[in-house]
Structure 1
Amino acid sequence: MSAAVINDTTVTELVGDAVAAPSMHNAQPWRFLYHRRDRTIDLYADPLRAMPTADPEGRALRIGCGAALLNLRVAAWHAGLCPEVSVSGERDASEPVATVRLREAAPHEIDHDLAGLYEMIGQRHTSRYPYAEEPLPDRLRQRLSGQAQAEGAMLSFPTGWHLALLLDVIEEAESDSAYTGDPDERKWVRTGTAESDTAPDGIPEYSLGARKREGRAPVRDFARGHAVTDRGAAAFERTPQLAVVSTQDDDPGEWLAAGQAMERVLLLATREGVASSFATQALERSHLRWLLRDPVRGAGPVQMILRLGYGPMGARTPRRAARDVLEITP
């Protein structure tokens, strides 16, 4: 693999891969600033795309930025570049959450584990459809856990009483949201053909998935409160497979690490033919989030809950163009 020339075109392509990352309600809460002189990319969290009701601390915002950072690293390694990353734990929105210095990498330096995930960046999509009851093989679960560990986080697969507890808490949060309404959620759901097909962000109508007729899969009904065409109803998993991303502490630096771990897990899962979606309902309720921890394992704060399984891989959702989120300076 020959190293790419580090210029504006290269950086724009890297950012184009970074913005394929998932984020809460597909709000895409990131900005990039490239400094030609020292070949560094500053990644900023965009407060204009924050969720004041569902994410008052900016935790989910940082997780989304972490996912974008992971994609940027994967794309850089694939291009033969070494991304040297420094992370900030500051909450100040005027400061970058991470800075990536680019340099040409020698062949022996390439992180082939990350570079090998590159093709999955464009194939990973959120799937809000039913999955098969077929469990993920233990060996695959171990590999997915290893991906999270490589980014400084933990990935566990709850079973038994812990899985039942998680599903109960998520259902309570979903019911609460249905009753009280969620302005953040309503803002980012795109309905109607015109808006759904042209908006560069948010959740388009075509990706809402089927309504849940039965089953315990924690699938969020984003169509609630919106006039949308009939999506039909389907039976979802009776025993969904959840994966919990947790960290040692609960601060901005750990949230960024959780986002990188989450995206690394999702890219490998995609390569292995595993569909995925998110179950964030309880994470958006501070009085419920603490209930999600596993007291037996002693794991730290829960940062994200993934639903994994074998089924439709989901449709591609819109992304803003790199030129809309990237600024280049001398």
Structure 2
Amino acid sequence: RSYGGKLIARHEGDNWWTLFNKRTGMKMVINLNVEDTPMLERLNRPQLVDLKLTNFCPYECSFCYQGSTTQGKDSERRDIYSILRALADLEVFEVAIGGGEPTLSLHFVETMEQCADLGIVPNFTTKNLGWLQSRAAIKAIQNSCGAFAYSAVSCNDIRGLDAVLPEELVRQATINIPMGAHADGIEQMLHICHDLGYTVTLLGYKTTGRGGDVVPVPYQDWMEKIIKLRDNGHCPTIGVDTVMLDQAKVLGINIPSWISTPSEGTASMYIDAVQMKAGASSFVEEEKMVHLPKGQHGRRMIEKEDIQKIWSEL
């Protein structure tokens, strides 16, 4: 059900509902039963799907957990639309488009527009700034995209984005900081994000792909640095991924369950549109990925039942 086009309510079974704000991306799972009810541990279908659009990337970062290279392949157009149509039928709220470098995919702009046409909010991550020279890309992001995250490993990365970002896209821009791969001090990077007005997501270091070949920069004291910045009035709005949540538990940091997702595969999943595989997350071990079904003559026509079956088995 949609209320005014921005707020969506999705029934999760029994008295459970998910409320989703298409403008802000905020999601809330609620129970209409007035009695005390245990927290819902897993949704009956994903709220969000991470979608790999391409395995091509010119940056070849040493810590890339996807192992993307300049030899990486793009996805096929028909496969992308088939996946998106199935996700729309399953009432998935959001798609997080990644890669590789998604903005260099031949299907980047079209994929965002297709998401919007199907009622799905597209978001994407990027390390590329070249797409800012494309009016078609800027228009598609303005009209269709919920938010995009720029991957930054240094203060200069953040300043570089800010120097070229058009005013009309400022609201949709956020900063991703891959912890363990940052070249500058995390405190300094967060301070700059605060001063420039960017929200931040801290991404825990991942050891799949090329990530296992690199010794990450230690960052066990991240919470202490955040608290120091907060106390000094220089802390931006910060989110963390599930890897950071798991690491926080090991460090004895208490993050309330009502504002966090406990693990991958409970509210989101991953689909690799290049290899046509799916799994609980984009950094799950290869042997835990499952193939999406193929239709006649090798054409892959994905149905919502296919995604639902994979989701139920994660």
Give the TM interval when normalised to the shorter protein.
Answer: under 0.3
Give the TM-score taking structure 1 as reference length.
0.26
Q: TM-score, normalised by structure 2?
A: 0.27
**More helix by proportion, 1 or 2?**
1
Question: Bigger relative contact order, structure 1 or 2, given CA contacts below 8 A and separation 6+?
Answer: 1
